[in-house]
Amino acid sequence: MRNIQTIAWKEIKTYFASPMAYVVAASFLAITGFFFVASVSDPFSEASIRGYIAGAIFFMVFLSPALTMRLLAEEQKLGTLELLMTSPIREWEIVIGKFIAAFVMLALMVAGTFYFVVVLAWYGDPDIGPILTGYLGVLLYGGATLAIGLMASALSSNQLVSLVVGAGLLTGLTVSNFVADRLTGAAQEIISNFQLGSSFSVFDTSSFGVVEGGHFADFARGIISVTDIAYYVSITAVFLFITVVLLESRRWR
Residue ranges of the domains in the chain? 2-252
Q: Which residues pair with 204 in a beta bridge?
A: 209
What CA–CA distances, in Å, run from 59 to 16, 30, 89, 121, 173? 21, 10, 34, 25, 14
Least confident of 7-11, 74-78, 126-130, 196-200: 196-200
Q: Give the dihedral sign, CA 12/137/122/116.
A: positive
Least confident of 12-21, 124-133, 153-162: 124-133
Q: pLDDT at residue 139 above 80? A: yes
pLDDT at 103: 95
Residue 148, pLDDT score: 93
Percent of the chain with pLDDT over 90: 19
How far apart, in whole angstroms, are the C-alpha atoms of residue 203 and residue 205?
6
Position 172 scores a pLDDT of 76
pLDDT (0 to 100) of residue 19: 87
Query: Has this prediction a pTM greater than 0.75?
Result: yes
Lowest mean pLDDT among 15-29, 66-80, 103-117, 203-217: 203-217
Mean pLDDT of 31-42: 80
**DSSP string covering 142-164, please?**
HHHHHHHHHHHHTS-S-HHHHHH
Pairing assessment for the beta strands 203-204 and 209-210 based on DSSP bridges: antiparallel
Residue 227 scores a pLDDT above 60: yes
pLDDT band at 228 (very low <50, low <70, confident <90, very high): confident
pLDDT band at 195 (very low <50, low <70, confident <90, very high): very low
> CA distances (Å), 182 to each of 37, 151, 169, 198, 210, in order?
32, 30, 20, 14, 20
C-beta of residue 59 within 8 angstroms of C-beta of residue 172: no
